[in-house]
Structure 1
Amino acid sequence: MRIEKNGKQWFKEVFDQNYTYILNYLFYLSGDTELSEDLVQDVFLQLWEKRDEVKQETLRPYLFTIARNSFLKNKRRQKYDMKFRSNYFERTENESPEFILEMKEFDKKLQGAISDLPEKSRVVFLMNRMDEMTYREIAENLGVGVKAVEKQMSRALAILRKKLEKNI
């Protein structure tokens, strides 16, 4: 598909196909829903402004590059510390208070361990485990090779295993 200067239909299709991926990627980097939503708007604004320069073949990696650069720019400007929010475990009538407490403590340790991962490993891990993306899909989205994704995933799992074994 050729990108037209006023290609509103093209832009809508690109937006619809990529918005969730870019939003999740930014959330994985920042840990902040509102910041991710603000940055994803910036990403698509930049795409619109540079639509004549973008090649269709490299569109998705280009979007991820814009997203990463927007996040880093924001991080430098505000010295933003990532905080994950735990909202995975809800109280039910069948769970004991002790179980709920243990699960919340484990979730807190897991979120801390994930946030301590090196950035590349953290992003690959979350894209695979949260978005259920294959290594090939992650590689295409990030513009890297499948072997690089495998290496980062292996690193993430080893670090998490080591950190969580200490706490269990």
Structure 2
Amino acid sequence: MRDDVAQENASSEIADVRQIYEIEAPRLQRYFQRRLRSRDDAGDLVQESFVRLVGCMAKTSLPRPAAYLQRIARNLLLDRYKRLETRLLAFHVPIGEDFEVAVAPDQAARIEAEDVMRIYRRALDELPQRTREIFLAHRVEELTYREIAESMGISIPTVQYHVARALAHIDAALEQE
């Protein structure tokens, strides 16, 4: 009797996941494609989102699994941007006349850094002008989202969109190399 109830609950959960997948997977695919511009990466992130959702559903009952799935998707995208920032941080070089390297970098590291900067500059040049201006204002001029929004007469979510779009494009460019 106990096994029958467990099997019934399991088949009910499978049906729930299948229904959520049919509704939400195309939405998530579009969401990731707009931000990553790569069908393969978007498909991988959709799959990862559902794997994490099923894992959570196995542990606890979720009152709104679709909303939870959307949060998982946003977190996966944020994790991806953080990994990009971490990778780029290794190549950060302060710009200024007074800057001197304490220890001369080895040739391989210098060549790799030059390659990354070449790809980065090319990716920046490929961005739409407004997106590039907003991204550079935030990253180079170190303006806050609020300061950028006020100076350009746009909303803070619009600034966030352009920064995320630029990061996704730069990430995709670096991943291709």
Which TM bucket (shorter chain)? 0.3 to 0.5
Bigger Rg over Cα: 2
More helix, by proportion: 2
TM-score (norm 1): 0.44
TM-score (norm 2): 0.42
